[in-house]
Amino acid sequence: MDAGNALRAGARRIVAGLALALLAWPLFVAVPASAQQSDQAIRVSVDRVSASITVTDARGNFVEGLRREDFHVFDDAVEQPITDFAAIEEPAQVLLMVEAGPAVYFLEGSHLQAARALLDGLSPGDRVAVVKYDEGAEGVLDFTADKGEAEAALTMVRFNLGFGMLNLSSSVSTVLDWLAKIQGKKTMVLLSTGVDTSPTEAARVLLDRAATADVRILAVSLSAEIRSGAEVSGSKFDKKKVAADKSAATAQEFAKADHLLTAVTEAAGGRVYFPKNAQDFSDAYTEIAQLVRHEYSLAFAPPRADGKVHSIEVRIGGVATSAIAKAAGSEAASGSSEPSPAETKGYRVDYRRAYLAPGDVH
């Protein structure tokens, strides 16, 4: 057995072990018609490159009020004209992608309540879709601005005993193909243990895909309490202990799962959260809602159709006075003489770092 097969076998053992103690989603929802062809290779002619951008100051405050002229975008170190710009107020598309294996019981009780913090924190015009995955990706709810409908899609799902494959990498790649057809600001919120039974090559493909897709990926790990065997505080499992295999092999698999979630989100210009209790989950979802609500979007025309991966760099310059005042926060409001963080230490700018240029179409 080679190393790749051994790792996949270990991941399958974790999935099977979780299934003996936890509850899983039933597989009763149908894939939307628009997603039926997602298993086929998709070639997209790129006439514009989009990038979603979050700007925070040195203290972690979101910087609002930025204008098109405040941004400078570089393709392989050469500045490009910005052809499209969407400010924070523009609606976003948020896709909730939920692992449908045994560990998804975290969406019950306090964890489902925490997930509502994300829905409640979104802007009224933001649209939400729900997808679940196990062996593959399957649509639950198409994009809608009705947050109550999105909440119902999560609430109505019931848990059954069972286990199976958790093909994380291949499933996320499939969903990125679906999202490629949607314009505007796009964010995937991945609720997952990070355990992956996909072939090794699928993980490498996903990292390349995440780095070049115009989708920000934010991940919330569901595995902390499984590993610790801690009580699931606030849920109907309060008095149950989750069986935890402390073997070195299991620890290695979960470390690999954490690494995958971290690598995928970093490649996509996103973030990963590792909550350990109900409050951590609530805090993570609240921050994610803020990230989505404070997202700029810009686009430029690819300068060369060479079929190669190009680097993207986004810089902030000539920042609007109103934005500096907002970044200064309470200091500006109180008239303090302390310089604004935006003026002294600059900004943190999160965005994807690359894209795949179009090639000659034959």
3-state secondary structure the chain: CCHHHHHHHHHHHHHHHHHHHCCECCCCCCCCHHHCCCCCCCCCCCCCEEEEEEEECCCCCECCCCCHHHEEEEECCEEECCCEEECCCCCEEEEEEEECCHHHHHHCHHHHHHHHHHHHHCCCCCEEEEEEECCCEEEEEEEECCHHHHHHHHHCCCCECCCCCCCHHHHHHHHHHHHCCCCCEEEEEEEECCCCCCCHHHHHHHHHHHHHCCCEEEEEECCHHHHHCCECCCCCCCCCECCCCCCHHHHHHHHHHHHHHHHHHHHCCCCEECCCCHHHHHHHHHHHHHHHHCCEEEEECCCCCCCCEEEEEEEECCCCHHHHHHHHCHHHHHCCCCCCHHHHCCCEEECCCEEECCCCCC
Q: What is the pLDDT of residue 176?
A: 95
In the block, residue with structure tokens 């509502």: 116
Beta strands 84-86; 296-300: pairing state: antiparallel
Q: Say if 16 falls within a structural domain.
A: yes
Q: Residues 67, 167: one domain?
A: no
In the block, residue with structure tokens 């109550």: 148
Q: Residues 204, 109: one domain?
A: yes
Q: Which residue among 252, 276, 293 closes a domain?
A: 293
pLDDT above 70 as % of the chain: 65
Q: Residues 78, 207: one domain?
A: no
Q: Say if 262 falls within a structural domain.
A: yes
For 225-280, write each residue's pLDDT tens digit.
Answer: 666 654 434 444 444 444 444 566 677 888 899 999 999 998 888 899 999 888 88
Least Cα distance to 180 among 358, 306, 341 occurs for: 358
Q: Residues 228, 181: one domain?
A: yes
Q: 73 has which bridge partners?
A: 80, 314
Q: Say if 139 falls within a structural domain.
A: yes
For 307-326, write each residue's pLDDT tens digit.
Answer: 888 999 999 886 543 443 44
Q: Which residue among 240, 260, 293 closes a domain?
A: 293
pTM greater than 0.75 (yes/no): no
Find the domain containing 78 and state its range: 49-88+296-356
Q: Residues 266, 198: one domain?
A: yes
Q: Say if 97 falls within a structural domain.
A: yes
Q: What is the pLDDT of residue 72?
A: 94
Q: Residues 109, 216: one domain?
A: yes
Q: Residues 80, 156: one domain?
A: no
> Residue 25 is part of a domain; what is its CATH number?
3.40.50.410
Contact 299, 68 (CB under 8 A): no
Alpha carbon distance 274, 223 (integer Å): 8
Q: Residues 336, 211: one domain?
A: no
Q: Residues 146, 128: one domain?
A: yes
Average pLDDT, whole number, for the chain? 73
Q: Residues 202, 341: one domain?
A: no
| Mean of pLDDT values over 91-107 | 76
Greater model confidence, 88 or 43:
88
Least Cα distance to 54 among 287, 225, 228 occurs for: 287
Alpha carbon distance 143, 187 (integer Å): 12
Number of domains into which the chain is organized: 2
Q: Residues 238, 352: one domain?
A: no
Q: Which residue among 252, 268, 293 closes a domain?
A: 293
**Choice among 30-34, 166-170, 294-298 with the minimum mean pLDDT:** 30-34
> Residue 327 is encoded by which pair of tokens?
């970044």
Q: Say if 361 falls within a structural domain.
A: no
Q: Say if 342 falls within a structural domain.
A: yes
For 107-130, write each residue's pLDDT tens digit.
Answer: 555 556 667 888 988 989 999 999
In the block, residue with structure tokens 């935890």: 244
User: DSSP assignment, residue 203?
Assistant: H
Q: Say if 362 falls within a structural domain.
A: no
Q: Residues 124, 76: one domain?
A: no
